[in-house]
Structure 1
């Protein structure tokens, strides 16, 4: 009885993981397409869109573009991917 619930939860977790991998691959493909056509990735373009919002919430202008890009990544993908981007940019 309990084992059935554990297996059902595991199946749901695997489905979510597969969807997340597919979604991140789709975002990467869109970024590559935009970079080829426009010279900027989709997340960079959204970073420019979020640049004023980052400045309005108190982030200094020197960091606002980077913060806007992180905010866009969080919006498009999820928090996990945004935190990975933040770790890459902070080095």
Structure 2
């Protein structure tokens, strides 16, 4: 779906918020998704210096795996103990 250039879309709203925040101080950080990056960058004024950085950890990194595996292991362990307790009652 292509949007017309005249209508206000999400990228324009985010670019306006970044511009307002940058006017209040010297530096600011905006974390945005990759799908919005190019659209927002086009709508920012020239005087705003843009620095693009990629995520430090990828989606399939060891850090990401441990952040997901630890709570999952805890939840499975608790459910297993509850299951054993229910079996013991009957």
Normalised TM-score (structure 2): 0.32
Relative to total residues, which structure has the larger helix share, 1 or 2?
A: 1
Larger Rg over CA atoms: 2
Determine which structure has greater relative contact order: mean sequence separation of CA pairs < 8 Å that are 6+ residues apart, divided by chain length.
Answer: 2
Normalised TM-score (structure 1): 0.32
